[in-house]
A and B are shown apart, each in its own frame.
Chain A
Amino acid sequence: MNRALSNPLAQWGFAIIATILVLAALAPWIAPYDPDAIDVKSILLAPSTTHWMGTDGLGRDVFSRMLFGARISLLVGFVAVGIATFIGVILGAISGFYRGWIDVVIMRLVDIMLSIPTFFLILAVIAFLTPSIWNIMIVIGLTSWMGVTRLVRAEFLSLREREYVLAAETLGARNFRLIFRHLLPNSLTPIIVSTVLGIASAVLVESSLSFLGLGVQPPQASWGNILTDGKEYIQFAWWLSAFPGMAILITVLGYNLLGEGLRDALDPRTKS
C-alpha cells in the first residue's frame, strides 16, 4: 500500500475521493441552506456570494443540493458495488476453489449475463419495479458482479497452485480456512482495484438513469438529477449543469486514478 501511495496518480485520486467524502459527510454542517428549501422568488439565479452555485428551477440553493447530492451519489456507488463485490467474490471463490462442474456452471452464468447489454437489463428492471434509490442500488449490483467473479476465480486458480497453499492443504487445513486465511487475503488487491473502478461506473450509471427519469425520487438531490434538471438550460443557466457535471467528472476521475494507480503500483510487472 505504501508503494501505491507513492504513485502520484493514486495520490491525486485519493485526495479527490477523500475531499469529496469529507464534504459529503459534513454536508449538514457546511451547507449554507436547507437543500429542499424552495423560494419561488429566486428561481434560476446565477452564482453569487449568497448562492455560490446559483439556484435551480425552484429557487433551491444548488451548492447545498450538491453537498447533499454527493451523499446519494456516493451511497449508490458504494452499496451497488458492495453487492456486486459480495456476489462476485463468493461465486468467484467457489468457482476457482472447487473447479469442476460448479465452475462450469458459474462461468456459463457469467457468459450469459455478459451477453445481454447490462444497461438494457437495468432499464427494464427499474422501469418494471418502479424506481427508488434501493431498487437502483440493488439492480446495479445484481448486474455488475461478473467482472469480479472472473477476477477472483482467476486469482484463486493461480494461487491454488502456489506451494504455501498446497502445503496448508496437505497439512489438513479445512477448505473454509484455506479460502479465508490463505486465498482471499492474497487476492485482495485486484478485488480492491476492481471495487474502486466499479464505484466509478456506478456513479455514471446513476446519472444515466436520472437522465431517463428513472433515478432517485424528488425532492432528494443526486448529482444525476441535478444535472438532468439543468440539461435543458445548458446554454443559459449553465451553473445547473456545469457544477454537477464537473462533480461527477472529478469524482469518477478520482476513483479511476486511485484504482488505476493502485493497480499500477501493485502490479508485479512494474516491480522490475
Chain B
Amino acid sequence: MPHKLLLAACLLLAACGQPAHDQTADLDKPYPPTQGGTLVDAMSGEPSGLIAMLAGESAASAIAANLFNSLLKYDKNLELEGELAKSWEVSRDQKTLTFHLKPGMKWSDGKPLTSDDVLFTWKLVTDDNTRTPYGADYKLVIRAEAPDPLTFRVTYAQPYAPALDSWAGLHILPRHLLEGQDINTTPFARHPIGSNYYQLDEWKNGERISLKRNPNATQGQPRIDRLVSRFIPDPASQFLELMADNIDTMGLSPIQYARIFPARPELTRKIAQYKELGNAYTYLGFNLKHKPWDDRRVRLAINYAIDKQELIDGVLLGLGEPIASPYKPGTRWSNPDLKPYPYDPARARQLLKEAGFEDHDGDGILDRDGKPLSFEILTNQNKQREMSATLIQRRLKEIGIDVRIRVLEWASFIGRFIKTGDFDVVVLGWSLGQEPDQFNIWHSSQQDPGKFNFIGYSNPKVDRLLEQGRLELNPDKRMKIYHAFSKQLYEDSPIVYLYAGYGLPAIHKRVKGIDNPAPPAGIGHNAYEWYIPEPLRRTEIAEK
C-alpha cells in the first residue's frame, strides 16, 4: 500500500484522491452468472438479537431471514411452497396438518436438522416463559408430534385457516444448541447457527453484521458469497454512501426516486431503481371511545374532507396507490367493489351539520354545544406520516376544523398515548400481509392496553366475520368472507385509508440476476440467485 506514506500529507491538505474502484468495466453488458463477491447494504438500526420470535425490530428479521428457514414460504407470486418441508397435507376434517421434511438437511454446524427441531421450536414459541408476541397462533395447536425424523404433525381443536401462513413465519431453531437454555437470555441470539443460505461471520457491535455462505445450506447455494449489513442511522448519510458507491443497496424515498435520480445521470448510470408493491398502508385512525368519533357521520365527514390523491401526489410524489380495504390492491383479498371515499368537502360539511357541528359563534371553527371541533393528530417520527398529517391539517382547516399535530418518538407514542388510550386521532401504518386474517386488529376482544385494536373498534358483525374467516379453509368462501368484512369496515369508516406507498429499492448495477419488474413478492424473492460478475466487484474488498 504505497499511498499510506501519503497519510500525513493527506491529513494536512486533504487533497489526495483515493484511486480505488473507478468503474471502467461496463455495467450494462450482460454477464454470465458467477459465484462470489460481497453485497453491502445499510440498516438504520442494529438488531438486539437474531432470534426473530424475540426481537421485534425489522433489522433483526431482515438478517435472521438469511440465517433461518421456516417449514413453508411464499413464492414469487405469493403462493405457499415448501421450504424445510418437501410437502404437506391437510387432514379431511381440516384440523390436522402433516409436514414432510426434506431429507438429509443439516444445520450450519453440520448437525442434522429433523422434525425434532421443529417440535422443539413449537414448544419454545408456545412456552409462557418465552418473551414473544407471536405465540398466539401456535397456542391454538392442541397436539404437536414428531413421529419420525422427517414428519411433523400438528392438530388444532377446530379448523384454523391462518395455520399454514403461521408455519411460513416461524423460524425453526436448533434444539441441540438451545435445549435447557433460557431462550430470552441465551448467547445464541448473538451467535446464531441456522440452516439458510448464510451463516454469521462477524458481528461488530455498532458497526456491521457480516454473513458468509453456509456450505450446509438446506436450500442450495446462493451465488453471492458475503452479505454485509452496515449500521448507518442517518438516512442522509446512507444516501451519500450509496452515491459514493460504499453500499450497494438502500430503500429510496419518493423524492430520491422521482426527483434526484432523474436529475443525476451519474447515479442512473451505475444504480438501478426498482419499484415494488409496498407491504404497508398508512391510515388515520379515530379513537372511537372519544367523542365525537363515536359518531359515524363525523368520521365519514373527515374521510370526505381528506384528499387522498393529494396525499399520494404530495407525500409520495405519485409513488403509491389509494386503497379502500386493508389488503394489497390487486390481490384476491382486496374487494374490487370498494373505491376510496372521494374528496368532497361539501359532503363533509353536510355530514358535520347533520351531526350538529356548525359555526355558531362565527370564529371560523365548527362547534357543537359550545365546544369547538378541535383535536390533535398524533404520529411518530416518520417523515411521510408527518407530511400527511400536515396536509390533512390544512384540508380540515378549510372546512372549519382546528387540528394540531404532535410528532413523538416511538417509545413515548406507544407508552404514553396508545397504550393508555389517551389520544384523539393517530396517523399510523399497518402492514399488508399475505394472510387475510386481521383478528388482532379489528376484533372487539383485542382492545386491552398493548393490544392492536387500540382505536376501540367494535362491531358484532365484523367480529362474526373474523371468527368465520379463521375457520374457513376453502379459498373462495374465505374470499367472500373477507370481502364482506372489508365492506363493513368501509361503511363504518373507523379509520381513513390514506395510501399504500411503493417500496423503492435502489441497487447498484453490479448486482445482476434481479427480476424486473418486481413480482408480487418483491424483488428480494430470488436474492440467492443474484450475482456480482467478477469485473464489477469492488477492488477494495478483494478477498484475501
Contact = CB atoms under 8 A, between A and B. Distances in A.
Contact of B235 (A59, A214, A232): A232
Contacts of A59: 314
Interface string B229-245: 00000011001000100
Interface residues of B, number: 31
B407 interface: yes
Contacts, number: 67
Given A128-B412, A217-B405, A218-B389, 8 more contacts: A40-B310, A58-B391, A127-B411, A130-B412, A217-B407, A218-B386, A232-B235, A232-B255
A185 interface: no
B390 interface: yes
A227 to B, nearest CB: 11
A190 interface: no
B57 to A, nearest CB: 18
Given A214-B409, A219-B405, A233 B255 contact: yes
B260 A58 contact: no
Nearest to A229: B383
Interface string B404-425: 0111110110001000000000
B239 A232 contact: yes
A230 to B, nearest CB: 10
A218 B405 contact: yes
B389 A213 contact: no
A44 B315 CA distance: 12
B177 interface: no
A38 B390 contact: yes
B325 interface: no
Interface of A: 36-38, 40-41, 43-44, 57-59, 127-128, 130-131, 213-214, 217-219, 231-237
A38 B255 contact: no
B236 A232 contact: yes
Contacts of A130: 406, 408, 412, 416
Interface string B301-318: 000000000100110010
B259 interface: yes
Contact of A234 (B236, B387, B408): B236
B69 interface: no
Contacts of B255: 44, 57, 232-233, 237
Contact of B390 (A213, A219, A234, A236): A219
Question: What are the 9 closest A-B residue pairs judged by CB atoms, nearest first?
Answer: A40-B314, A213-B381, A236-B260, A232-B236, A231-B236, A219-B390, A40-B313, A38-B394, A130-B412
Interface string B368-392: 0000000000000100001101110
B391 A38 contact: yes
Nearest to A59: B314
Contacts of B235: 232
Nearest to B381: A213
Given A218-B407, A233-B260, A36 B387 contact: no
Contacts of B263: 236
Contacts of A57: 255, 387
Nearest to B260: A236
Contacts of A58: 314, 387, 390-391
Contacts of A218: 386, 389-390, 405, 407
Interface in B264-318: 264, 310, 313-314, 317
Nearest to A213: B381
Contacts of B243: 235
Contacts of A37: 394
A219 B393 contact: yes
Contacts of A219: 390, 393-394, 405
Contact of A36 (B253, B394, B406): B394
A6 B215 CA distance: 78
Interface in B299-356: 310, 313-314, 317
Nearest to A38: B394
Contacts of B391: 38, 40, 58
Contacts of A235: 243
Nearest to A215: B407
B409 A127 contact: yes
